[in-house]
Structures are given as C-alpha cells and as structure tokens.
Amino acid sequence: MSCNVAIVGATGAVGAEFLIQLEQRRFPFTSLKLLASDRSAGKKLRCAGKEYTVEALRPDSFKGVNIALFSASTAIAKEYAPIARDAGAVVIDNSSAFRLESDVPLVVPEINPDAARRHKGIIANPNCTTIVALMAVGPLHKVSKITRLIISSYQAISGAGAEAMAELEQQTRDWVAGRPLKVETQPQQILFNLYPHIDVFTDNGYTKEEMKLTFEGRKILDHPTLKAAATCVRVPVMRCHSVSINVEFERKIAPDEARSILGKSSGVEVFDNPAKAEYPTPLRYTQKEKVGVGRIREDISSDRGGLALWSVGDQLAKGAAQNAVQIAELLIKRR
C-alpha cells in the first residue's frame, strides 16, 4: 500500500523534526515531498538515508500525496490545507488555523485517538504547551473528572521557530564577544531573561497562547465546561517546554494514586524522586519521546484535595512533529 507524504515547511524547526521523526519511527512512506518557500527551493535535506530536494510550495504540489504534514504558518495552512485536502491528501496541521473548528479533530493519540477517525480531510495537531500539560492530566481526568486546571508554563524558544532559536544562539555569541545584543524576532531579549508574552494579547488580558489551553483542553478532553487558566512564559531554553500544574478533580486523587495512574500511561514517564534531585528538566527530556512528570504532591492551597505536578516535554517532538507523526500512524493503521 503506498503512502506518499509531503511536508509543508520542511526547512523550519518543526519541519526538521518531521524528518527525524519519520526516520526514527520508521514511518512507512513510499515517497516524500519537501515543500517550503521559494527561498528554499533547491535546498537538499536528508531523511532515512536519502537526499531530497526542497520544492517551492504551489497549489499543484499535492498531486498523489496521501498525507500532508503542515508545519508552516497559520496563514499558509489556511490557504493550502484545503487545497491539499481537495487533492485527496489528509492534512495534519501543526498551526492553530483549524484547531477549534467543529469538523476538525484535535488529537493527542494517547488521549483521544478515536477523534482522528472522524476527520474530513484535516486533522489539527494541538498547541505544544497544551500537549505537554494534557499528557500529565489527561490520564488522571479519565479516572476523576477535572474541575479546575491552572498552569504556568516555561516555554522553550523553539516554539517561536528556527529564526528565534538562531536569535538565542546569536545573542549568546554576541554576549560572550562583548557585542551589543540584537532583538529581531522576539518581543524582548531572551538571553538571561524571560517574558510572559507568547502570541498576542486578547481582550480578557490573557494571551492567545494562554487561551489555547482552555479551548483546546476542552476539546481534547471532551470536557466542554473545563475551567482552565494559564500563564505562558518564554524562557531561554532551546527546545523543551516545562509546565507547573495545579489541578482539582471531582473525586480527590492522592499523589500516590496519581503516580500509579501516570506510571501506567502511555507516553508518560514518572520521574519523581526529589530526595535524589530527580525531577523532569528540559535538558533531560530533550529529544525524548516521552513526557516526564514529577514533583507530584498535594496542592496544599486546595480545599478539594487538588494536586500539584511538574511536566516536561520536547516541544519540537511530542509538542509538535512526533505528535503529528503519531496521528499519521493512526491513519495508516486504519487504511
């Protein structure tokens, strides 16, 4: 059975991770088409031991494509995902363009794999911070419904794309050389700094990034009344998001019960031995398939016996490309 795959945005940070994930997960593609802007046409990239030439994205790029992995901007997804779908491909889109549309499944394969079955040609990959947070609380929600969810995130610069990652590296080199630091792609200097400003601010004072947890969380957990609030912070970390979580449930879940549930959950590693300084960190979970959960303890501020947890996942992998390739795996299992 043939499976012709295209990657839109193949030269970007998530695009590069798509190539790694397809190779590492031995995704059985028959052909691979790499698409990016005109600037990148002709560039050579490797995947699974073969060299591929990047092509400029065009409306006729999707002929014969079965699965189109999108990792470009929301604007490009809005323009080209319907074109790819109409050409016969199933689109798995990493942008926020379609996530909240009622006929577009929003899928974390470990949490709501069945939703992928209901696609009409486009499946959305959730926001990276939402994935890292829900990997920790989704398995608990299956045991006792979440009544309130509060998160504070510590988000890597990779979430802002390849140019932003290069900006952090350049600021580091400039600082070492005693040169003035340039701030070009980000709202603030990222080196030696952090800022509570990811995506744009909305009328309620939250950023769009923060509201994604509420809206996407409701859809993925199939919990339309979920009360969730986030503060999302960019930190000078290269590619792993960390999330501090406070969560309450209909029925209290004790820390030991949470450890036991999460210990049996697919895609999660409980790494929770603070006495030995063992808790998830961005460096430990860089390029790891699993999301690490630790610091599992009672939320002593909660009247309802809530939990406090700490969850860390690779933004480019589980937060983006890996999750999308896992969705593609669900699709080919069904073909």
What is the DSSP secondary structure assignment for residue 89, as one 8-state letter?
P
Q: Which neighbouring-strand residues pair with 268?
A: 291
In the annotation, is 3 catalytic?
no
Determine the Cα–Cα distance for residues 245 and 38; give it in Å rounded to an integer: 42
Does position 40 interact with ligand A2P (CB under 6 A)? The reply is yes
Residue whose CB is less far from ligand A2P, 62 or 310: 62
Are 116 and 327 in contact, with CB atoms under 8 Å apart? yes
Query: With binding defined as CB under 6 A, does residue 39 bind ligand A2P?
Result: yes
- Using CB under 6 A as the binding rule, whether residue 161 contacts ligand A2P is answered as yes
Q: What are φ and ψ of residue 200, in 5° steps?
A: -90, 160
Specify the stretch interacting with ligand A2P by CB under 6 A; choose among 31-39, 176-184, 269-277, 296-304: 31-39
In contact, 314 and 285? CB cutoff 8 Å: yes
Q: How many residues bind ligand A2P (CB under 6 A)?
A: 16
> Of the residues 128, 141, 232, 240, which is catalytic?
128
- Tell me the closest approach of the beta carbon of residue 89 to ligand A2P, in angstroms: 16
Q: Contact at 8 Å (CB) between 90 and 331?
A: yes
In the bound complex, what is the minimum distance in angstroms from residue 327's beta carbon to ligand A2P?
A: 19
- Piece of 35-43, 101-109, 266-274, 309-317 that binds ligand A2P (CB under 6 A): 35-43
Taking CB under 6 A as the criterion, the residue among 162, 166, 181, 191 binding ligand A2P is 162
- Enter the tokens of residue 317: 């992998």
* Residues 314, 323 contacting (CB under 8 angstroms): no
Which residue sits closest to ligand A2P, CB atoms considered? 12
- Residues 6 or more apart whose Cβ sits within 8 Å of residue 330: 107, 109, 113, 116
Choose which of 6, 22, 67, 72 interacts with ligand A2P (CB under 6 A).
72
**Closest separation in Å from C-beta 42 to ligand A2P:** 11
Question: Taking CB under 6 A as the rule, which mask of x and - marks residues 2-21 in contact with ligand A2P?
Answer: -------xxxxx-x------
- Please give the residues from 83 up to 142 whose contact with ligand A2P meets the rule CB under 6 A: none
To the nearest whole angstrom, how small is the minimum distance from the Cβ of residue 18 to ligand A2P?
A: 10
Nearest-angstrom CA–CA distance, 200 and 240: 21
> How close are the terminal C-alpha atoms of the chain, in Å?
9
Give the active site residue among 119, 141, 232, 241.
241
What count of other Cβ atoms lies within 10 Å of the Cβ of residue 250? 12
Closest among 313, 302, 310, 311 to 253, alpha carbons compared = 302
> Annotated catalytic, 197?
no
Please state the φ and ψ torsions of residue 278, each to the nearest 5 degrees: -105, 110
Q: Which residues bind ligand A2P (CB under 6 A)?
A: 9-13, 15, 36-37, 39-40, 57, 72, 76, 161-163
Catalytic residue numbers, as ranges: 128, 241
